[in-house]
Every structure is written in C-alpha cells, then in structure tokens.
C-alpha cells in the first residue's frame, strides 16, 4: 500500500505545481490582455496641479499629445502649440502636454516651475500634465500605448526627443506620429486640428 501511495502523492504534488504555474501564466496573460485592450479614452493621468485628468472627457475631440521640455532647442515650439490650440482648440480639438526630463535633463523643474515657465514665456493655457517618462523601464502606460502597435492597433513609434507629437481622433484611434522637427503649425497637423 505504501508503495502505491508514494507515487500517487508525488503525482498529486506535481499536478498541484503545474496548476499553480498554469494559474500564474493565465493571470499574467490576463494582465497583458487588459493592458493591450486599453483604449485611449480609458487612461487617467495627473495634471500639473496633481489633479486627476480622465481621458474619457476627450471623447469626441481630436487630440494632439506632445512631450515637452523647458530647456530644449525645440522649446520655442510651445509658441506654435499655443497658437494651434488658440486657433483651433474648442469642443473638437485639444493639445495635451506631458513634461519629460529624459532627454539630456532638459526638464529639471518641479510641476510648479514648469507651469510658471509655460505661462510666463508662452502664455500656455492648454492642459499640461504631470512630468512622466515617455520611454524606458518607467515608461508611462499612456506612452506604451502611443508607441506600441500591439496596444494602439496601428503603428509602432519611437519617441526620439522632446516635442514628439501624436494625433488621436475623436474616437480615440491612433492617427499619426511626428518627430520633434515637425512644427505644430505644420499643414497636416493644422488640417487635423481643423477636422479637414
């Protein structure tokens, strides 16, 4: 009887371990699937004041998402972004800025300093969010979505420097990515902002 029970318990233990591994793998897959199925309008971020900003409020609007910095050669693009927002920002279009300090430490300031800089130098009144990472191990989930075809369903993109621009349509679909050299008043971006 003992000879029979020893292999039986060994098999039971092995099965329990396999079930445990299978459960872990299943939960890992579920976590991946949940993040992969996240839609643009599902994201909730924090603004420069630490308040929650739900992207669900952007439903029905065309959106330009841009990573910004205060001490960059492209920083004067704030002027173009503000002009774009002032001319076309309404119920149908909005610019959302995300300060980032990952490129040569060109955004070292606190949220308060960033807000003051943007307002004082460029009169920025489009929504500015909390400072985040747009690449690397600590990449914000929104930027994982923006840069991964697996998540956004359209294209992979690489944030190469400050002032990369992403266009998202009214339904939360990824439309396009532009690098730093593309000015905010570029005709394609203006056409998008106007909805034409």
* Residue 72 a catalytic site member: yes
Q: Which of 17, 72, 100, 118 is catalytic?
A: 72
Tokens of residue 90, six digits: 């309404």
Task: Look at the block and give the residue holding tokens 């872990």.
Answer: 24
Residue 61 is encoded by which pair of tokens? 């609007």
* Pairing mode of beta strands 93-99, 174-178: unpaired
| Residue with the two structure tokens 């690449």 | 135
Catalytic residues: 72
């Amino acid at each position: 009887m003992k000879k029979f029970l020893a292999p039986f318990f060994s098999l039971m233990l092995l099965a329990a371990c396999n079930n445990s591994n299978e459960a872990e793998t299943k939960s890992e897959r579920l976590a991946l699937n949940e993040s992969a199925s996240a839609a643009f309008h599902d994201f909730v971020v924090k603004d420069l004041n630490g308040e929650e900003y739900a992207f669900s409020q952007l439903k029905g609007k065309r959106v330009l998402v841009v990573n910004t910095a205060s001490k960059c050669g492209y920083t004067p693009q704030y002027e173009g972004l503000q002009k774009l927002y002032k001319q076309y920002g309404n119920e149908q279009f909005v610019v959302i800025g995300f300060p980032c300090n990952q490129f040569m430490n060109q955004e070292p300031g606190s949220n308060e300093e960033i807000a003051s800089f943007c307002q004082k130098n460029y009169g920025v009144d489009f929504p500015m969010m909390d400072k985040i990472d747009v690449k690397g191990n600590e990449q914000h989930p929104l930027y994982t979505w923006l840069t991964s075809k697996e998540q956004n369903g359209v294209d992979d993109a690489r944030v190469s420097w400050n002032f990369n621009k992403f266009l998202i349509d009214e339904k939360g679909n990824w439309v396009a990515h532009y690098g730093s050299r593309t000015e905010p008043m570029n005709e394609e971006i203006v056409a998008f902002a106007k909805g034409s």
